[in-house]
Amino acid sequence: MIYKAAVLQFYILIGLVTLLWGLSFPTMKIGLGAMQPFTFLVFRSLVSSITILALILIRRGALSPPKGRPEFWWNTLLHNAMFIPLYYGAVITTSGRASVFLYTQPLFYAALAVWFIPSERLGVRSFTGIVAAFLGIVLMFGEKFETGAEY
């Protein structure tokens, strides 16, 4: 009986996460219609920070980041910085396109890791996968590209 309750709880939580994640970009478009992108970003960050702080306090977790882990701060800074161009770009496109653009980030990370992480290697299969993914994005949004050719 406990197993069935845990499975049910799992599916409810997965459904809730899916619903909230799916609503995030339409909510972003609505919010960007009401305020400037940077203001909306600050508001989003405040709401997120308060929510996370409340969860940490409820669960009696650690309030400080791990010591001796400078990558924590780089990750925090870069993760939040990526939303600035996303929000400005979302003003001029649909929420669906904005979500696709946002979730291209692993492709950029994989491509750029070769230059920023000395031990990282990009094999033929990885390179082919990255190129195929970028070509897929070009195909999805290709009708928006203009060459200037008259044919």
57 and 109 co-located in one domain: no
Q: Is residue 31 part of a domain?
A: yes
109 and 82 co-located in one domain: no
Mind spelling out the 3-state secondary structure of 12-54? Answer: HHHHHHHHHHHHHHHHHHHHHHHCCHHHHHHHHHHHHHHHHHH
- Whether residue 83 contacts residue 48, with contact meaning beta carbons closer than 8 Å, is answered with no
109 and 88 co-located in one domain: no
Which pLDDT score is estimated for 129? 92
- Domain count for the chain, please give it: 2
In this prediction, residue 146 has a pLDDT band, given cuts at 50, 70 and 90, of low
34 and 75 co-located in one domain: yes
Task: Residue 88: give the domain boundaries.
Answer: 2-93
49-58, 65-74, 85-94, 130-139: least confidently modelled range: 65-74
Q: Is residue 99 part of a domain?
A: no
58-62, 66-70, 80-84: least confidently modelled range: 66-70
80 and 116 co-located in one domain: no
**Is residue 21's pLDDT more than 70?**
yes
9 and 59 co-located in one domain: yes
The pTM of this model reads 0.63
Percent of the chain with pLDDT strictly greater than 70: 95
89 and 119 co-located in one domain: no
87 and 118 co-located in one domain: no
Structure confidence by residue, pLDDT tens digits, 86-98: 888 888 888 788 8
